[in-house]
Amino acid sequence: MPSSQHIDLTLIKGYLEALDLAVIQQMLDLYIQQSALYLLAINSAVVDDDQKSWQEQCHKMKGAAASAGLSQVHQKLIVLEKSTEDSETKNQHLQALRLLNQQAIAEFQQWLAEQ
């Protein structure tokens, strides 16, 4: 199997040893739902120019991404969580985060389909 660009295969394979594939699929489905909510909340923080909310929402999504094994999303959020840039720059970061999140989810779904 080729190495993963977006997901932590060591973590996910560890889950697979302990959990049924259907449970891992449910975990990913839950992450997809939650990340959509986090992204909306992060967007609201940008619109409202609310630094505290920005940090809180990035922090929450960072934890969820780590638990789901989405390593690049997690790494991006480590940086974004501490960002104090202006709203326009944060909006650009948010767009990049959305794309990265979509790519990671797609890669995880592809991995699941191959199991």
For the segment 27-54, the average pLDDT, to the nearest whole number, is 97
Q: Is the pLDDT confidence value at 83 over 70?
A: yes
The structural domains of the chain, with segments of one domain joined by +, span 9-113
pTM: 0.93
For the segment 95-101, the average pLDDT, to the nearest whole number, is 97
Under the banding of pLDDT at 50, 70 and 90, the label for residue 1 is very low
For the segment 70-82, the average pLDDT, to the nearest whole number, is 96
Question: Which architecture does CATH list for 9-113?
Answer: Up-down Bundle (1.20)
CB-based contacts of 25, cutoff 8 Å, min separation 6: 112
Under the banding of pLDDT at 50, 70 and 90, the label for residue 3 is low
Residue-level pLDDT at 5 = 86
Average pLDDT, the chain: 94
Tokens of 93: 């970061």
For the segment 73-96, the average pLDDT, to the nearest whole number, is 96
Residue-level pLDDT at 84 = 94
Residue-level pLDDT at 2 = 46
